[in-house]
């Protein structure tokens, strides 16, 4: 008990500001105001005009300082949700554990939160210390103290272009170190998802986790199982779409966090070609993320679990199950086995199945079937998946490219391609040349060979 107390004291000593916050000018932090959302600036302007403090905060400030493009912009203020909402035409209060305001500008939502007070003993928690409800409002300094990592406790005023830094987060950003504010064990118990966030930030920044921040993770990893599965799914999606997906998976495995999220990943990696297939899929995902393209969660999880589905499919065929029924049963077995831990949304599950179910159809398509496949809403995703399989040398690359060319063609070119395929495969009913059947003879008209 005494050791734990000393540990907490030392941790506070090194994470608490010694003489007030640093205030960094544009020349020091390097943020270009033109890269900041004009809607986030507008929210800050309106709040300041009404006499409140307001700052762009968190991940957006972190990303802008290191030269990344933020996915979204959040605002922190000393105004309460009930004071914020009337100031904007389209705004709504949301949240139970953390009550905040969504200010809507067309397709963009600016999440606006009130400064929070640090966790207190009388807050509602579960048996492991995870905070269930946290609507205690506080000061700017208190809000900075209750944020998880130093690199997220940064506040940018878009009007003065000054960054307020209470916990030397800019210095940690420059050295690419992820460091917890406060005692790591206590903070992980308050919210176990912080362990996942530490891994994601370290991978995204190509950096490291501070030793004191990393040390408790391995023995506290089982706490992840107490997090609602829907929230785990959201966090897993962030990990896989941060632009460094394979690095994230490897870091999760290194500290044992994957057991609470993707327990099947060890099994997948042990399958023949499993690691290679996942690596190819995640490389493609990272490439899309870095080029600003969208990523389909359905495609991503279909790729992650394909090798297990394929293995189960072949096992069922060997037991005598018909080909398509075997694939359908394999898909159910694998998805149901994973969703006990990770709540993959039903619409994504349906898309995963459709991507998988179309794979055998590519090998046994008829001209009429090709036109039906082209109309399928998951056709393009299934073709992309076929390309991935070709890259992993599961299927013929020439065949996969033909389907990709068909997907990219206009209707006139598609007609020509399918007609050319039909000419080259006269009599084909399944994508392969069919053996010609001999005509049946009529016994009444067929001359009988005399028996010697």
What does the pLDDT look like over 408-426, one tens digit per residue? 999 999 999 999 999 888 7
Q: How far apart are the C-alpha atoms of 120 and 136, rounded to whole Å?
A: 9
Q: What is the pLDDT of residue 20?
A: 82
The conformation of residue 96, written as its DSSP 8-state character, comes to S
445 pLDDT tier (thresholds 50, 70, 90): very low
Residue among 63, 134, 143, 148 flagged as catalytic: 148
* Domains of the chain listed by start with CATH number: 14-183 (3.30.460.10), 358-432 (no CATH)
- Of 32, 72, 234, 405, the active-site residue reads 72
**Is 333 annotated in the active site?**
no
Q: Which range has the worst mean pLDDT, 205-209, 241-245, 260-264?
A: 260-264
Q: Would residue 165 show up in a list of annotated catalytic residues for this protein?
A: no
pLDDT on residue 438: 45
> Count of residues for the chain?
452
Bridge partners for 108 per DSSP: 105
Query: How many Cβ atoms sit within 10 Å of the Cβ of residue 169?
Result: 26
Is the pLDDT at 392 greater than 80? The verdict is: yes
Q: Which of 355, 370, 358 is nearest to 409 (CA)?
A: 370
Least confident residue range of 125-139, 259-273, 325-339: 125-139
Mean pLDDT of 149-178: 95
| Whether 148 is catalytic | yes
pLDDT at 444 over 60: no
Percent of the chain whose pLDDT exceeds 70: 85
DSSP character string of 150-205: GGG-EEEETTTTEEEESS-HHHHHHHTEE-BSS-HHHHHHH-THHHHHHHHHHHHT
Cβ atoms of 392 and 273 within 8 Å: the answer is yes
Averaged pLDDT for residues 308-327:
93
Indicate whether this model's pTM tops 0.85: no
Question: Does the pLDDT at position 340 exceed 90?
Answer: no
Which range has the worst mean pLDDT, 29-33, 68-72, 358-362?
Answer: 68-72
Of the candidates 63, 74, 143, 351, the residue annotated as catalytic is: 74
Backbone angles phi, psi at 46, to 5 degrees: -60, -45
Mean pLDDT score, 114-127: 68
């Amino acid at each position: 008990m005494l050791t734990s107390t000393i540990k907490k004291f030392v941790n506070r000593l090194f994470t608490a500001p010694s003489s007030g916050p640093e205030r960094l000018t544009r020349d020091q932090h390097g943020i270009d105001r033109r890269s900041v959302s004009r809607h986030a600036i507008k929210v800050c302007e309106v709040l300041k005009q009404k006499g409140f403090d307001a700052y762009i905060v968190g991940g957006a400030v972190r990303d802008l300082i290191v030269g990344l493009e933020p996915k979204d912009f959040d605002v922190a203020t000393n105004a309460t949700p009930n004071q914020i909402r009337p100031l904007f035409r389209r705004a709504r209060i949301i949240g139970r554990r953390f009550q905040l305001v969504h200010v809507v500008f067309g397709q963009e939502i600016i999440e606006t939160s009130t400064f929070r007070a640090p966790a207190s003993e009388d807050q509602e928690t579960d048996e492991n210390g995870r905070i269930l409800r946290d609507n205690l409002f506080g000061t700017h300094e208190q809000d900075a103290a209750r944020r998880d990592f130093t690199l997220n406790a940064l506040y940018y005023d878009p009007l003065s272009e000054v960054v307020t830094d209470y916990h030397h987060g800019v210095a940690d950003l420059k050295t690419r170190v992820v460091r917890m504010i406060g005692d790591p064990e206590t903070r992980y118990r308050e919210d176990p998802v912080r362990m996942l966030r530490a891994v994601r930030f370290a991978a995204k920044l190509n950096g490291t986790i501070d030793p004191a921040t990393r040390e408790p993770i391995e023995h506290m990893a089982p706490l992840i199982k107490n997090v609602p599965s829907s929230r785990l799914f959201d966090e897993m999606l962030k990990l896989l779409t941060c632009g460094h997906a394979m690095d994230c998976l490897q870091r999760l495995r290194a500290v044992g966090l994957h057991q609470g999220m993707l327990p099947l990943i060890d099994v997948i990696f042990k399958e023949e070609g499993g690691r290679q297939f996942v690596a190819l899929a995640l490389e493609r995902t990272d490439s899309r993320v870095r080029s600003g393209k969208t990523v389909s969660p359905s495609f991503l999880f279909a790729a992650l679990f394909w090798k297990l589905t394929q293995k189960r499919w072949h096992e069922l065929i060997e037991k005598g199950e018909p080909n398509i029924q075997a694939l359908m049963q394999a898909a159910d077995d694998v998805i149901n086995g994973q969703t006990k831990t990770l709540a993959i949304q039903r619409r994504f599950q349906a898309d995963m199945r459709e991507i998988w179910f179309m794979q055998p159809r590519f090998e046994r398509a008829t001209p009429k079937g090709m036109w039906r496949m082209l109309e399928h809403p998951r056709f393009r995703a299934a073709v992309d998946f076929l390309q991935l399989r070709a890259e992993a040398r599961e299927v013929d690359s020439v065949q996969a490219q033909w389907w990709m060319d068909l997907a990219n063609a206009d209707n006139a070119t598609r007609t020509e391609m399918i007609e050319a395929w039909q000419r080259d495969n006269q009599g084909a009913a399944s994508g392969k040349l069919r053996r010609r059947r001999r005509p049946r003879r009529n016994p009444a008209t067929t001359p009988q060979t005399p028996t010697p």
